[in-house]
Amino acid sequence: MAHLPDFISDLAIILITASIVTIIFKWLKQPVVLGYIVAGFLASLHFKEFVEKLVVKVTGISEQQVSGVFKALPEISDMGNVTIWSELGIIFLLFALGLEFSFKKLMDVGGKASIATLINMGSMIIIGYLAGELLIVNLIPDWSPMNSIFLGGMLSMSSTTIIIKAFNDMNLQKKKFAGIVFGMLIVEDLAAIVMMVLLSTFAVSQHFEGGELANSVVKLIFFMLMWFVVGIYMIPTLLKKLKKYLNDETLLIVAIGLCLGMVYFATAVGFSAALGAFIMGSVLAETIESRHIEHLIEPLKNLFGAVFFVSVGMMIDPAVIYEYALLILLLTLVVLIGRVIFATLGVLASGEGLKVAIQSGFSLAQIGEFSFIIATLGMSLGVITETLYPIIVAVSVITTFTTPYCIKYSENAYNWIEKRMPSRWSKLIEGYGVSSYNTVNKQNDWKKLLKSILTLVAVYFTVSIAILLVFQSFITPYIVEYVPGSIWGNVISAIITLLAMAPFLRAIMMKKNRSTEFKNLWQDNRLNRGALISLVAFRIIICIVLVLMVLIPLFPKLTVLMVIISLAVVTLIIFSEGFKEQSRRIEARFLENLNLKQLLDEKKAAILPTVANDLRSKNIHIEEFEISQSSSSIGRTLRELNFRQKTGVNIVTIIRGSKKINIPDGNERLYPFDRLVVSGSDEEMLQLAQYLQDKRAQASEMEEEAQHHISLSQYLVEKGSSLIGKTIVSAGIREKTECMVIGVDRGEASIINVEPAIQFQEGDIIWLAGEKDKLNSFEENIADLEPLIP
């Protein structure tokens, strides 16, 4: 018999256990993630040891006898295998998260979500660190400051999976506070990636320095921006050109290849595999294939993600949980109280009203999957104690179970607080952001100009530095080595490097100098001209510095001459039409790739996102509802359905395939799979959702009661039958019986393609198709036809 590798047998144990437990959890209507954690505990050695001790204690059987029985059971043979699978799980989880993330989506959620998240996360990191240093340090012997730092990071992360599950179960997705929570989760995801990089840096150095922190942050921003810009420029174009070759199979392979390629590159330059996977996911999120890739990658994410969460469950040690039960309870209270308070304060600080803030705060009162990833990072770096892992998992499990109840009673908490608030705090209840909202967004020209210039300078400066580093590390040494004469090798290297950087240098110096805002400011006030000239001069100086960064390492003894040459190079770049055209082409392709998906989505959308955001600021929401094929609303007019009277919403648009019916009148009828774009408040949206759900349920019940199936039966044409000599048409079989003749057996022959003009003969066996009750009443309709098989 062939030996089964441990790698496969371990995976079999993990997946069989996970499948059984998760089915039970689905039956109990509990989150699947918790099922994976429980499955991991059941498959672990900790569980086996726990059960062995329990059996010995209860039955009195010797330890050796009990151990002998349990040894016969299958067990994980090599935890190293599980570690490999779980690392793949983290990679695919972060890749899928990046696909759902999108940097443009981060820009869309705006400053409100960013402000709220930074206040919430920052406060919880500090609280977690203080809890570790003031309370836990005396409870766990090998506790260190690094454990406190990682604990703060773990307590600062909410669970996207659990929150989405709770909102779906409670039908709250269309509430205003749910949208704010989703925006905060997007910002939280990005902040978590940054935090993982910084924690890795701290863990390696084992000390804190301002310069080191700044260096890590700058390095991270540089590489993220570079990967994003280069990725957006190249990958959508590549996918577009290869589209005719990309079926499901090849697109999946390409997506995984890009993901793992970025993982390899990220680790090679000193970052984590998780960061590389996230970046590539966020780049692919901006392509038109993003939803397709997301759909294809989901089974892999589910498989490897399940193994990761199972590996988390394997770290649960009942002995540790029992010993530190009081600490687990303490940390649970810190999460429940701290996250509610600071998330609420964060949302209030962003300008929202008290009710929305409290509902958001109560929704975020848990920790989840990212906390496990941070804990895994700390374990892999060897900087946190093994005791912390089962403790944080236990806290996550408890807060996961409390999340639906926190959300459910958040409105009661608001009502209690509102009754006890002083009347002078009414502004806090309404929210200063809502009350001061202005429908016309009047940004001054200076703000718009500076924002656009800072953005393009940051992007093109990053690209220029990246080109410089690539040439200095790989290309220049090769040229200098193989070109005869040291001076000529350096000259050729400098020329090639500057030619590659020139289009981006020109963009830094000249972009936006002829924009509408620049012209308005120039003509508006003479004082503006000095500032504008200084702004242009500053950008030119940046480019001179970049040119010197190329020249001085190659010609270190000719500094003064290099300064003069750099001025000449910059002047040449400014007046060169070739570099100008090249710069425009590069920018046009980048913007086309970046905006293509958004433009396609806007074409499909009934209302532009900017309009939807303006309405949302006025507490008016735009949502889509699909009419199912079993809905009782099908075929009825909007006047008959009267959604406005019954639910309060307004029907803005009906999307029917590629057709849009804007502002439909009362005579418009609904058809299956119509999408209704409606406007209304939170409560009105919920009423419509409930109304459509009730109608769908009624239609389903009616459909089940009225199910009709086609059956087959045989009938013998006996002697004396009135069918003898008649055709199907003349006998009127369809009209009288609502059955259809599909075949005739005549002697040894079978006539399958029955013509309407065929004449029945004595002894014919007629094959009939129809509903069962119609076949049963066939004799009553044609009295002299007797069935061969009743």
Q: Residue 783: what pLDDT?
A: 62
Distance CA 321, CA 325 (A): 5
**Which residues neighbour 367 within 8 Å (Cβ) at sequence distance 6 or greater?**
154, 155, 157, 158, 159, 335, 392, 395, 396, 399
- Helix then strand then coil, in percent of the chain rounded to 5, is 70, 5, 20
Distance CA 273, CA 84 (A): 13
> In the structure encoding, which two tokens stand for residue 18, read together?
């996970």
Q: Residue 597: what pLDDT?
A: 76
Top-ranked range on mean pLDDT: pick from 484-488, 597-601, 736-740: 736-740
CB crowding 160-195: b at 16 or more within 10 Å, else e: bbbbbbbbeeeebebbbbbbbbbbbbbbbbbbbbeb
Q: What are phi and psi of 74, to 5 degrees?
A: -65, 145
Q: 771 - beta bridge partners?
A: 710
Q: Residue 1: what pLDDT?
A: 41
Position 707 confidence tier, pLDDT thresholds 50, 70, 90: low
pLDDT tens for residues 484-536?
766 888 899 999 999 999 999 999 999 888 888 888 888 877 777 888 888 99
> In the structure encoding, which two tokens stand for residue 179, read together?
């949208």
Distance CA 492, CA 181 (A): 55
Per the confidence metrics, is the pTM higher than 0.85? Answer: no
Measured on CA atoms in the order 328, 334, 337, 342, is the torsion positive or negative? Answer: negative
Of 304, 370, 373, 294, residue with least CA distance to 99: 294
> In the structure encoding, which two tokens stand for residue 458, read together?
């940051």
> In the structure encoding, which two tokens stand for residue 755, read together?
């013509």
Residue 57 C-alpha from the chain's centroid: 48
Matching residue, tokens 């959890």: 25
**Which residues neighbour 636 within 8 Å (Cβ) at sequence distance 6 or greater?**
669, 670
**Mean pLDDT confidence for 688-709:** 60
Q: What is the mean pLDDT of the chain?
A: 82
Percent of the chain beyond pLDDT 70?
Answer: 86
> In the structure encoding, which two tokens stand for residue 99, read together?
């696909």
pLDDT tens for residues 190-209?
888 888 888 887 777 666 55
Matching residue, tokens 């242009």: 536
Q: What are phi and psi of 741, to 5 degrees?
A: -80, 120
Distance CA 483, CA 481 (A): 6
